Amino acid sequence: MALISVGIDHEHASLDLLERATVPEHEWAKMLRTLVSHRNIHEAVFVSTCLRTEVVAVIDRFHGAIDEITETLAEATGLSVGEFDDRLTVNFEHDVATHLFQVAAGLKSVVPGEFEILGQLRRALELAIEEQSAGSEVTDIFQRAIASGRRVRAETAISRGTTSFARAAASAALDELGGDIGESNVVVLGAGQMATGVVKSLLGAAPRLATLTVLNRTMERAEELKSEVNDERVQVGSLDSVNEHLTGVRLLVSALEVSSPVLTREDFVDFSGDILIVDLGVPRAVSSDVGDLGHVRRIDIGDLRERVERALGDRRDAIDDAQRIVADDVERFLNEQRARGAAVIVRELREHFDEMITGELARRSHDLEGLTPDQRDSVVSLVRSVVAKIAHRPTVALKEAAGTDQGARLSEATRNLFDL
């Protein structure tokens, strides 16, 4: 069996394809059950964020597993298998660790060092454990990657300044509107982690903001957000009443997870005044054609990515520091994994030999009946000594080759030869 990751991300696919390839979180459990029902997939963790949809799995046949994963993604998203051609990022065995540790560190995020990805990876693992699709191998690598991600943020300056979509979105909105947005009215769609970050960032950066209205599907979560920020400028309402809250709004930020837009061009045709729309959703919650209207400006994740790239500046050194930490953590993880792999096969081989000695001595015990206890002990000691010498060279070879292609071949041969 081998470890593999198969995914689609913002580095290799268009925003439009990422939008259509996103799987809502409430469907992740179904994805996991489907994945592990395939012949070649034994363990799986699935994560789908605004700019990344990915499967990490323990598999049998490489190409068979890729086909099964691609077919599952296509079925869940309504895309054709062909639409994933040349856009999938595939990592195998040791490369999976490097990839996943970099993802957890925020090195593959639009906003380097952003915190949201750690929570997303943690939730993905927790769900996989709950659905019993995560075994010891994927659980171990996810836990180590998350720990490495925390270390990167603690020991480098990569998390300094704007380090999340939420804060980057608030900063981009204020820049687009010329700094402080004064006594304006703002509407935020959503009340999840990203929406909460947007609300806090806007309230902190715009002290003269008149009102900030949070609209969400469930009023309970919106009320929780209001209580958390504890600011009298915050109001809450139902997402169903969004059109009633648009009058006089200067800034609309959407941080929703939706399958289709909740606002379209028609909702803004007769809008009075100028409005800036910041849509952090993939798929988009506000249809992209609203930007055709003269009084509407819009920023989406594609624009945000370009802004962040231009603004990285002096954090380049922090990114280099983070990469060195990740490389160090990956090497340590792989070394420990090699040691564990060798330890398992060596232990099984020794146990096999011990069972052979015990069984054969028991079977031939009548041949030893005429011996004194000391003579009998000498025979047992001699047999064990001979078997130990026979086992020595295979044991050393397995330990020395652990973690390499040769080691994998030796392990497989050992299991076949000794029926382990």
Print the domain residue range for 375.
Answer: 337-418
3-state secondary structure of 41: strand
Q: Considering its fold, how many domains does the chain have in total?
A: 3
Q: Report angle CA 161, 252, 24 to the nearest 5 degrees.
A: 80
Q: Give phi and psi for 174, each to the nearest 5.
A: -65, -40
Would you tell me how many other CB atoms lie within 10 Å of the CB of residue 111? 26
**Domain check: are 24 and 152 in the same one?**
yes
Which of 162 and 313 is assigned the larger pLDDT?
A: 313
**Domain check: are 397 and 413 in the same one?**
yes
Name which of 91, 92, 88, 69 is nearest 13 in CA terms. Answer: 88
pLDDT bracket for residue 257 (50, 70, 90): confident
**Domain check: are 131 and 232 in the same one?**
no
pLDDT bracket for residue 407 (50, 70, 90): confident
134 is catalytic: no
Domain boundary, last residue among 126, 161, 196 = 161
| Sheet strand arrangement including 234-238 | 234-238, 211-216, 185-189, 249-254, 275-279, 296-300
- Tens-place pLDDT, residues 119-154: 899 999 999 999 999 999 999 999 999 999 999 999
* Structural domain includes residue 319: no
Q: Which two tokens stand for residue 182?
A: 């004064």
- Tens-place pLDDT, residues 279-307: 887 778 888 888 888 889 888 877 777 76
For residues 51 and 308, what is the distance between their CA atoms, to the nearest angstrom? 15
CATH of the domain at 238: 3.40.50.720
DSSP code of 85?
Answer: T
**Domain check: are 124 and 262 in the same one?**
no
**pLDDT for 165:** 67
- Whether the predicted model's global pTM rises above the 0.75 cut: no
CATH of the domain at 133: 3.30.460.30
Domain boundary, last residue among 145, 161, 177 = 161
* Structural domain includes residue 44: yes
**Domain check: are 183 and 263 in the same one?**
yes
**Domain check: are 67 and 111 in the same one?**
yes
By residue count, the chain amounts to 420
* Structural domain includes residue 328: no
**Domain check: are 212 and 118 in the same one?**
no
Q: How far is CA 130 from the centre of its chain?
A: 16
Name which of 194, 219, 198, 167 is nearest 227 in CA terms. Answer: 219
3-state secondary structure of 287: coil
Across 37-46, 194-203, 210-219, least confident range: 194-203
On the question of pLDDT at 35 being above 70, the answer is yes
Q: Where are the beta strands (DSSP E) in 26-156?
A: 41-49, 52-59, 89-92
**pLDDT for 308:** 66
Domain boundary, last residue among 110, 145, 161 = 161
**Domain check: are 27 and 87 in the same one?**
yes
On the question of pLDDT at 180 being above 70, the answer is no
For residues 330 and 141, what is the distance between their CA atoms, to the nearest angstrom? 10
* Structural domain includes residue 189: yes
**Domain check: are 245 and 272 in the same one?**
yes
For residues 57 and 15, what is the distance between their CA atoms, to the nearest angstrom? 25
Q: Which residues of 204-238 are buried (b: 16+ CB within 10 A; e: fewer)?
A: ebbeebebbbbbbbeeebbeebbeebeeebbebbe
Q: How far, in Å, are 231, 306, 351, 383 from residue 348 at the CA level?
A: 62, 54, 5, 19
Percent residues over pLDDT 70 in the chain: 94
**Packed helices 316-363 and 405-418: angle between N→C axes, nearest 10 degrees:** 20
For residues 278 and 301, what is the distance between their CA atoms, to the nearest angstrom? 9
Would you tell me how many other CB atoms lie within 10 Å of the CB of residue 279? 27
For residues 6 and 9, what is the distance between their CA atoms, to the nearest angstrom? 10
* Structural domain includes residue 331: no
Tell me whether residue 369 is exposed, middle or buried, using C-beta atoms within 10 angstroms of its C-beta: 0 to 12, 13 to 18, 19 or more: exposed
**Domain check: are 146 and 177 in the same one?**
no
Would you tell me how many other CB atoms lie within 10 Å of the CB of residue 291? 16
Check 13, 35, 50, 128 and give the catalytic one. 50
pLDDT bracket for residue 59 (50, 70, 90): very high
* Structural domain includes residue 323: no
For residues 175 and 156, what is the distance between their CA atoms, to the nearest angstrom? 27
**pLDDT for 50:** 66
**Domain check: are 290 and 176 in the same one?**
yes
Which of 166 and 163 is assigned the larger pLDDT?
A: 166
Determine the average pLDDT of the residues in 88-102.
Answer: 93
pLDDT bracket for residue 161 (50, 70, 90): low
* Structural domain includes residue 13: yes
Q: How far apart are the first and last CA of the chain?
A: 16
3-state secondary structure of 1: coil
On the question of pLDDT at 197 being above 70, the answer is yes
- Tens-place pLDDT, residues 311-353: 555 567 788 899 999 999 999 998 887 767 677 788 888 888 8
- Tens-place pLDDT, residues 367-392: 888 888 888 888 888 988 898 888 88
* Structural domain includes residue 315: no
Average pLDDT in the chain = 86
**pLDDT for 314:** 55
Cis check: omega of the bond before 112, within 30 degrees of 0: no
Amino acid at site 386: V
User: What ranges in 49-93 are assigned the alpha helix state H?
Assistant: 62-77
**Domain check: are 229 and 279 in the same one?**
yes
On the question of pLDDT at 14 being above 70, the answer is yes
